[in-house]
């Protein structure tokens, strides 16, 4: 798993069925990547709902959050609409798990992303990372602490 000080690998993933997002588009902003196993699972649903509620706090730190899983762009679209999420979910679907692998958080046995968080600074360097047990919602405290450190 990548750690603080590592350069965040570039990627381009679908955020909607017809729109891709590149990490490099966010140069000059802090970025939070929340890798998670699957849409619709109870822990993932709670985690993404929490981040939706935390958007105004992330914005105070000039930070955008994106969820990343190996689910398809169509699955993400349905999940985002059902949960009324106001941040993008990125589809690491094909080649399956390529971005999760680049960040060192792909679970080969389960065929899905591990539950991991990355805070990337405005220059594209990982400032903080955390690997959470799959069945545990990691919350937002670590993210906020990392963003606070970036302002010092």
What positions carry a catalytic annotation?
A: 44
Contact by Cβ (8 Å): 115, 107? no
Contact 93, 72 (CB under 8 A): yes
Are residues 121 and 30 in contact, defined by beta-carbon separation less than 8 angstroms?
yes
Q: Is the link from the previous residue into 95 a cis peptide, with omega within 30 of 0?
A: yes
Cα–Cα distance for residue pair 78/64, rounded to 1 Å: 21
């Amino acid at each position: 798993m990548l750690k603080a000080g590592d350069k965040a690998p570039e990627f381009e993933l679908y955020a909607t069925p017809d729109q891709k997002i590149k990490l490099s588009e966010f140069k000059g902003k802090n970025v939070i990547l929340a890798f998670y196993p699957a849409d619709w699972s109870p822990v993932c649903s709670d985690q993404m709902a929490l981040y939706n509620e935390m958007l105004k706090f992330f914005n105070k730190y000039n930070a955008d959050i994106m969820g990343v899983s190996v689910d398809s762009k169509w699955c993400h679209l349905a999940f985002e609409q059902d949960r009324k999420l106001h941040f993008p979910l990125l589809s690491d679907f094909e080649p399956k798990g390529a971005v999760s692998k680049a960040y060192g958080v792909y679970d080969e046995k389960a065929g899905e992303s591990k539950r991991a968080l990355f805070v990337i600074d405005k220059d594209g360097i990982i400032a903080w990372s955390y690997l959470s047990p799959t069945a545990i919602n990691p919350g937002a405290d670590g993210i906020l602490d990392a963003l606070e450190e970036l302002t010092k």
